[in-house]
Amino acid sequence: MKNFIHLFTVCFLIYNESIKSRLCWVRKGLKSVLTPLDSLKYLLKGRIRSYLMGLICPYGFRNVNLWILFFLTAFCTNKSGGSMEEIKLPNPNLKGKTSVEECILKRRSKRSYFEKEPSLEQISQLCWAAQGLTEKKAGFRSAPSAGALYPLELYLVKNDGLFRYIPEGHKLVKLKPDDLRDELCKAALYQEFVKEAPLNFIITAVYSRTTRRYGERGVMYVHIEVGHVAENIHLQSVALGLGSVPIGAFYEDEVKKVLSLPEEETPLYIIPVGYPKD
Ligand SMILES: Cc1cc2nc3c(=O)[nH]c(=O)nc-3n(C[C@H](O)[C@H](O)[C@H](O)COP(=O)(O)O)c2cc1C
């Protein structure tokens, strides 16, 4: 929507400049009492001129009001949503104390948690394990992805709001300030531990990113990929002394509504995480 507003403003500015320019040429044509054919030629000339001007200086540079409007909308609609709060995560620890074998051995689905919240360092580590950049130049991430197309998005639901993880820059963007755990629990067939967990990850998919290249087979690839990401979260949780459980039983549309997901995003997994009671 925000991008649309900005695009609309840009189009309007170009169009505005183009109309002004064309009228000016028509006026010139009428003043010199030319034939209709010549006037038409002038009109076309004006079009070409305004097109060229559009290339060089696309936003109606002579109209100060339009410039102000342009910068205002650009400011209000920048990629991170203008006023959206961003939380830079601490760098992940790349040398853990628990071996991967130990994590595999100890991993068990945990469905009961203490209230104590995982720290920002732990959240950072979990996000990195799920979707973090492990080769920044190439844009490769911690979990494999067919064609490196990365169709998955990662959301966090905590008591202080809804967040989206942005791998580039290793940060969270706060999307909502509300505690959505209660609503998420209802959408997940009232599985109480969703409400109880201090942190819930939700992995969503934009299928078209993968099916655009791989067709119908891409759907299967996306489903395989969500398993990779989820397992990374589970194993990393164990390494951090936390517990988690994968949840597949939920009403897709309800979860979409709770998170206000864009139309093209489908929730695939909910993963509550916390300090396990058992
Ligand atoms: C695709 C999938 C969906 C699952 N959905 C749920 C769920 O909705 N609720 C739940 O309590 N456990 C869910 N689980 C967890 C399984 O019940 C659990 O993995 C299984 O009992 C084996 O136990 P373990 O994870 O401790 O090895 C799901 C697991 C998978 C792989």
pLDDT single digits (tens) 202-244: 999 999 999 999 999 999 999 999 999 999 999 999 999 999 9
CA of 246 to the centre of ligand 1 (A): 5
Q: Full-prediction pTM beyond 0.85? A: no
Is 245 close to ligand 1, i.e. is its CB under 6 Å away?
yes
- Give yes or no for residue 79 having a pLDDT over 50: no
pLDDT of residue 81: 45
**What is the topology classification, in CATH, of domain 86-274?**
NADH Oxidase (3.40.109)
Task: Identify which of 97, 130, 101, 120 has the alpha carbon closest to the alpha carbon of residue 241.
Answer: 97
Q: Are strands 152-158 and 161-166 parallel, antiparallel or unpaired?
A: antiparallel
Q: Rounded mean pLDDT of 22-48?
A: 58
Residue nearest to atom 27 of ligand 1 (CA): 108
Is 246 close to ligand 1, i.e. is its CB under 6 Å away?
yes
Is 105 close to ligand 1, i.e. is its CB under 6 Å away?
no
Q: Where in the chain is the domain with CATH 3.40.109.10?
A: 86-274
Q: Which of 30-34, 35-39, 83-87, 180-184 has the lowest mean pLDDT?
A: 30-34
Is 187 close to ligand 1, i.e. is its CB under 6 Å away?
no
pLDDT of residue 84: 82
Is 175 close to ligand 1, i.e. is its CB under 6 Å away?
no
Residue pair 155/259 in contact by the 8 Å Cβ criterion: yes
- Give yes or no for residue 7 having a pLDDT over 80: no
pLDDT of residue 49: 61
